[in-house]
Amino acid sequence: MHGIKRQQYSREILKQKRIQDQQKIKTYKDLTHSALDTRDKGIFTTDALQLTSKILELNPEFNTIWNYRRDIILTVTNDVKPDFWENELQFTMEKLKRFPKVYWIWNHRIWVLDNYPNATDKIWLRELFVVDKLLSMDARNYHGWHYRRLIVKKLESINGKLMDKEELKYVTTIINKNISNYSAWHQRVQLITNIFNKHELNKKEMKDMVLSEISYITNAIYTDADDQSVWFYTNWFIANDIVRLVLTNDEYIKMLKDIKDNVILINNDDVEFSGKENNWCLKILIVIEKTLKEAGYELDKDEHTEEYLKKLIDNDPQRRNRYIYLSTKQ
Amino acid sequence: MTELTLLRDKHIKYIESLDNKKDDYEYWLSEHLRLNGVYWGLTALCIMDSKDTFKKDEVIEFVMSCWDLKRGGFGPFPRHDSHLLTTLSAVQILATYDSLSVLEKDDKLELCVQFIVGNQLPDGSFQGDRFGEVDTRFVYTALNALSILGKLTPEVVDPAVQYILKCYNFDGGFGLFPGAESHAAQAFTCLGALKIANRLDALTASQIEETGWWLSERQLPDGGLNGRPSKLPDVCYSWWVLSSLAIIGKLDWIDYEGLKEFILEAQDDVKGGISDRPNNEVDVYHTIFGLAGLSLMGFYDLIPIDPTYCMPTSVTATFKKYPYIGK
């Protein structure tokens, strides 16, 4: 059970609850037995479908009943009314609204779409709006993001057209709404990687994109220097193949030094403001120094990794053993 | 303030009481998790050195009553359909009782292996059952169960490993699907699968360091662990994160004392059991994963737990290690 407040029932309340539960248990068990008996008799009819609806209404996690429902649908599919599949989507939507984290419901919805007769791109495009809506209610819903990727992939294959650039606009909007949305930053990595790997841009566009990404990151770290989303993204961005390919080595070193200067500035601001260094700044400075060295840049006296690690051992004691490990590797 | 301690006896009583709740509506609504629940309860009891609290014969009888005659494998409850998740729980329970031999009757072992292997897809991934849901959880579940049964083969393992590697992310974490966001529970399933396949070497040392970094950042100032950045802490991640760190040999990259306090505060000091967070309702799922976390960190002389299998190390030591050498 997740997020349910603990209650200690008194004997009296427990007695009351048990009395109320008796009827509910009877109804539920009768329905369940009836459905499983019908299934075992090999009955796959619209009446049996109604029975599964009733049970799933009470328990949307009953996957055996979802399975029976799908077997019924496959059997009656030629005899159903035209609006049957729309109703089935509606049925799962009602459930998803109430239980947005139940795997079985998401799974059933995808199955319905995959089996929807003569599904055009319109059906899948509408699904993109549906998932928009669901993500606007919970912008980190793990299932929702996974679902979105599946829908986009499907649309891309139906229309023979990549959607990475449009999707990048979407995640930018989401990040601009809330810079701590790690799911959106994650998706940003996927999309930018796709755009480059699938050669969706010409040389100049690629360079423009990398340069605008650098300023996007810089803005983001100034906006919230305590949030790990943007730092993990930065950690990826500064050392990934795309940036290395698009920038000359001199440009690459300049980019790293610019980011480094900005991170040092942010950290100094924190020291001035709160008297404490910003642990994330220190963690990323270590990565930047390492990356600079790998790019052939001599840090010499400007190298402070050892000092940063010492500070982190004291300032971030939960993870001190990681910093000790990194020190011994120096 | 009184110092917190592990309420071992209360937790044992709580787990023992779980099957006496047939007057509660919730008991029936959770039929679909019953076999998993038995595995969680039994393993929790094992960790507290109280395995005999459950009656072995009754448990095995229940497990066998969940066998799916039509498709092989095990469902969560009699007459329910088999699924990889519940098939693993069944195999784990039988192994914990050193009773895998019950599968020899009526070719169940062979049928069980067929059920698992039959759900592997051409790209190496696994679907949970015939309806096509794909998730790295199912790769782990399949490899784990086959490993316990001593039935791994390169034909199954090699593509599965390739699939897992596709789920490795830019931040060092793993997702449920290629391209899906990193999630601590998925780190456990992916690292566990690689460990069972004896293929952790498919990741470079620096990839593993990134994994360790991302996992260590799951610890929040209150000591608890979350499953993804900017999410609330939850006791179950005491297992998903810690076991992952243990598998890559970086268990001490988080603070034990802080996490211990967080788990202990989530105990119900009246009826026993552990919840997701302090003051929430307890359940057997969070109880086992809280206890397993404490065991991994070496607190309270709990029985050692294997981070790859989430079973007592005394049991997993008997498993045939893959790749099988000789015959």
DSSP A107-156: HHHHHHHHHSTT--HHHHHHHHHHHHHHHHH-TT-HHHHHHHHHHHHHHH
SS3 B3: coil
Q: Which of A70, A149, A182 sits opposite B229 (nearest CB)?
A: A182
- Residues in A 139-158 with any Cβ partner in B closer than 8 A: 140, 142, 145-146, 149
Domain that holds residue B58: 23-118
What is the C-alpha to C-alpha distance for residues A313 and A323, in angstroms, rounded to an integer? 6
pLDDT in tens, chain B (327 residues): 568 999 999 999 999 999 888 889 999 999 999 999 999 999 999 999 999 999 999 999 999 999 999 999 999 999 999 999 999 999 999 999 999 999 999 999 999 999 999 999 999 999 999 999 999 999 999 999 999 999 999 999 999 999 999 999 999 999 999 999 999 999 999 999 999 999 999 999 999 999 999 999 999 999 999 999 999 999 999 899 999 999 999 999 999 999 999 999 999 999 999 999 999 999 999 999 999 999 999 999 999 999 999 999 999 999 999 999 875
Question: Per the domain annotation, does A198 fall within a domain?
Answer: yes
| B185: in domain | no
The mean pLDDT of chain A is 95
Which has the closest alpha carbon to B14: B310, B264, B267? B267
Residue B168 per-residue DSSP state: B
> Does A153 score more than 90 pLDDT?
yes
Distance CA A68, CA B284 (A): 28
**CB pair distance less than 8 Å for B79 and A64:** yes
- Residues of A within 8 A of B132 (CB-CB) are 111, 114
Q: Does the distance separating the beta carbons of B230 and A228 come in below 8 Å?
A: yes
Mutate to test the interface with A, among B32, B70, B240 (most CBs of A within 10 A): B32
* Among candidate residues B118, B134, B153, the one where a domain is terminated: B118
Segments in chain A forming alpha helices (H)? 11-40, 46-58, 63-76, 84-98, 103-115, 121-137, 142-159, 164-177, 182-197, 203-223, 228-237, 241-246, 249-274, 279-294, 305-315, 320-329
Cβ separation B131–A103 shorter than 8 A: no
Last residue of a domain, one of B91, B118, B145: B118
Residues in B touching A18 (Cβ below 8 Å)? 23-24
- Residue B260 falls inside a structural domain: yes
Q: Residue B74 phi/psi, 5° resolution?
A: -120, 140
Q: Is residue A31 part of a domain?
A: no
> With 70 as the cut, is the pLDDT of residue A327 above it?
yes
Q: Do A187 and B24 touch (CB under 8 A)?
A: no
CB contact under 8 A, B281 and A1: yes
Give dist(CA B101, CA A147) in Å, integer: 41
Residues of chain B in contact with residue A182, where contact means CB-CB under 8 angstroms, are 181, 228-230
- The CA distance from A233 to the nearest CA of chain B, in Å, is 8
Residues A149, B179: C-beta atoms closer than 8 Å: yes
Task: Determine the residue among B171, B251, B254, B280 to mutate to test chain A binding: the one whose Cβ has the most chain A Cβ atoms within 10 Å.
Answer: B171
Q: How many CA atoms lie within 13 A of B8 on its CB side?
A: 15
Q: Is residue A204, in this structure, part of any structural domain at all?
A: yes
B188 found inside a domain: no
Q: Which residues contact B37 (CB under 8 A, 6 or more apart)?
A: B18, B30, B284, B285
Stated as kind and residue range, the H or E segment containing B283 is strand B282-283
Are A284 and A263 in contact by the 8 Å Cβ rule? The answer is: yes
Is A287 among the domain residues?
yes
Q: List CB contacts (< 8 A) between B281 and chain A.
A: 1, 4-7
The number of C-beta contacts closer than 8 angstroms across A and B is 147
* Total count of domains within chain B: 2
- The token duo for A233 is 């993204």
Q: Is residue A209, in this structure, part of any structural domain at all?
A: yes
B10 interaction partners in chain A (CB closer than 8 Å):
none
Q: CB-based contact (8 Å) between A278 and chain B? A: no
B61 in Cβ contact with B106 (< 8 Å): no
How many distinct structural domains can be found in chain A?
1
> Do residue B219 and residue A318 have CB atoms under 8 angstroms apart?
yes
Between CA A284 and CA A281 the distance in angstroms is 5
Q: How far is A229 from chain B (nearest CA, A)?
A: 7
Please check whether residue A58 touches B, CB under 8 A: yes
User: When comparing pLDDT for B102 and A8, which is higher?
Assistant: B102
User: Searching chain A, which residue's CA lies closest to the CA of residue B235?
Assistant: A2
User: CA of A107, closest CA in chain B: separation in Å?
Assistant: 6
pLDDT at residue A103, rounded to an integer: 92
For residue A56, give the chain B residue with the closest CA: B29
CA A35, CA A32: separation in Å to the nearest integer?
Answer: 5
What's the mean pLDDT in A131-141? Answer: 94
**What local confidence, expressed as pLDDT, does residue B19 receive?**
87
B133, A103: Cβ pair inside 8 Å? yes
Domain range for residue A302? 188-330
Cα(B106)–Cα(A125) distance, integer angstroms: 50
Is A285 within the bounds of a domain? Answer: yes
Beta-carbon separation of B281 and A6 below 8 A:
yes
**pLDDT tens digits for range A161-191:** 999 999 999 999 999 999 999 999 999 999 9
Neighbour tally for A273: CB within 10 Å: 9
CB contact under 8 A, B23 and A240: no
Residues A280-294 have pLDDT tens digits of 999 999 999 999 999
Gap from B130 CA to chain A (nearest CA, Å): 9
Residue B87 distance to chain A (closest CA, Å): 14
Would A248 be classed as within a structural domain?
yes
CB nearest A3 (choices: B23, B25, B280): B280
Dihedral angle, C-alpha A149, A153, A159, A161, nearest 10 °: 90
**Residue B178: its chain A contacts at CB < 8 A?**
none
State whether the Cα torsion A135-B134-B85-B310 is positive or negative.
negative
Q: Which of A61, A290, A322 to mutate to test the interface with B (most CBs of B within 10 A)?
A: A322
* Domain CATH code at residue A201: 1.25.40.120
Q: Which residues 197-256 of A are in CB contact (within 8 Å) with B? A: 227-229, 232, 235-236, 240
B171/A186 touch (CB, cutoff 8 Å), yes or no: yes
Task: Note whether residue B30 is domain-resident.
Answer: yes
Better-scored residue on pLDDT, A1 or A305? A305
Interface ipTM: 0.96
Q: What is the mean pLDDT of residues A45-62?
A: 96
- Would residue A213 count as lying in a domain? yes
Q: What is the pLDDT of residue B258?
A: 98
In the listed set B61, B85, B118, which residue is the last one of a domain according to the structure? B118
Among chain B residues, the shortest Cα distance to A40 is held by: B79
pLDDT tens, position by position, A239-287 = 999 999 999 999 999 999 999 999 999 999 999 999 999 999 999 999 9
Residue of A41, A71, A142, A229 to mutate, testing the B interface (most B Cβ within 10 Å of its Cβ): A142
The amino acid present at A23, given as its one-letter code, is: Q
What does the alpha-carbon distance between residue B163 and residue B182 come to, in Å, rounded to a whole number? 15
